[in-house]
């Protein structure tokens, strides 16, 4: 059941496809997206129908709970990424530099995946109910496959020290009292915040924009956070190519008044050329 190296390499795009299908929910037919009931509204309606509380109270309860889940996911993602480092979290290949026992890794082995699943639960509340169920289940399977794949890889590369870590720290459910001592280290919270903009954006969308009950606005917030995170990632990994893309896209759009498709194609082509001509930087831990 463990993920293959190809699945690990494509993990971000697999998640994008799952989330896109959750929002689109093609099995519901070609009805107007703006008229679809979100899971957030559906849960509030169902809670009010039980007679436990009126809808005007049920909706805030659901939003607050969703914000708490999103907040927990955001904290785990930023905390874990700060300790692991950007080039480990976002590397296309599995990394085995050593056994990480700092920060959240003292309490659970996979805080990034657990945090990611929490984020997906919160995000699914903007989807239709069946799309939310589809997303939560598939993401759980996907994350579990990635976890099993990474654990098998690390056990093979690191040997007995990692097996001792497996015995001491639970996979998903955290220990309240860690079995491992504190370790010295310098977590990079600044870069972690920059590279976890998607998780932060989902938290902001659920915690603040949900009160507007405007599904299109919430989707725009999530998409905007994702695009901003991709832009930041581009400047970290390929600053020259990313700069060329932005400048050429702005020039094609504003100066030459090209349409969106031609603008993107020209900017992408120029950025690829710039990337090919730029010397490769060595990855840092």
User: How far apart are alpha carbons 58 and 52 in whole angstroms?
Assistant: 9
pLDDT at 285: 45
Distance CA 4, CA 6 (A): 5
Q: What is the pLDDT of residue 282?
A: 56
> Which tokens belong to 68?
């708490």
Q: Where do the structural domains in the chain lie, given as residue ranges?
A: 5-237, 239-285
pLDDT along the chain (285 residues), means of 10: 91 95 87 77 92 89 96 97 91 88 94 97 95 97 96 94 94 89 86 94 95 90 92 90 90 86 85 82 52
Is-above-0.85 flag for pTM?
A: yes
- Could you give the CA distance from residue 272 to residue 112 in angstroms, rounded to a whole number? 31
Distance between CA atoms of residues 177 and 169, nearest Å: 10
Q: Which CATH architecture has domain 5-237?
A: Up-down Bundle (1.20)
pLDDT at 280: 63
Give the pLDDT confidence score for residue 186 in this predicted structure: 86
């Amino acid at each position: 059941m463990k993920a293959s190296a190809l699945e690990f390499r494509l993990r971000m795009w697999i998640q994008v496809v799952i989330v896109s299908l959750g929002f689109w929910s093609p099995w519901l037919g070609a009805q107007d997206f703006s008229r679809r009931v979100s899971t957030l509204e559906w849960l509030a309606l169902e809670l009010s129908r039980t007679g436990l509380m009126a809808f005007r109270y049920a909706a805030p309860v659901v939003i607050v709970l969703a914000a708490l889940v999103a907040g927990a996911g955001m904290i785990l993602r930023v905390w874990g990424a700060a300790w692991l480092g950007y080039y480990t979290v976002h590397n296309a290949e599995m990394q085995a530099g050593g056994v990480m026992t700092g920060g959240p890794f003292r309490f659970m082995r996979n805080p990034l995946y657990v945090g990611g699943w929490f984020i997906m639960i919160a995000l699914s509340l903007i989807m239709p109910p069946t799309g939310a169920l589809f997303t939560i289940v598939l993401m759980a399977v996907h994350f579990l496959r990635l976890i099993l794949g990474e654990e098998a890889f690390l056990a093979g590369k690191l040997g007995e020290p990692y097996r001792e870590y497996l015995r001491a720290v639970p996979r998903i459910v955290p220990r309240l009292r860690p079995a491992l001592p504190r370790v010295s280290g310098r977590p990079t919270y600044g870069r972690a915040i920059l590279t976890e903009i998607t998780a932060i954006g989902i938290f902001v969308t659920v915690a603040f924009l949900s009160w507007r009950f405007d599904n299109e606005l919430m989707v725009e917030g999530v998409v905007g956070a994702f695009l901003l995170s991709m832009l930041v990632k581009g400047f970290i990994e390929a600053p020259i190519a990313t700069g060329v893309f932005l400048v050429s896209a702005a020039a094609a759009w504003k100066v030459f008044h090209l349409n969106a498709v031609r603008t993107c194609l020209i900017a992408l082509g120029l950025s690829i050329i710039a990337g090919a001509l730029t010397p490769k930087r060595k990855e840092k831990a």
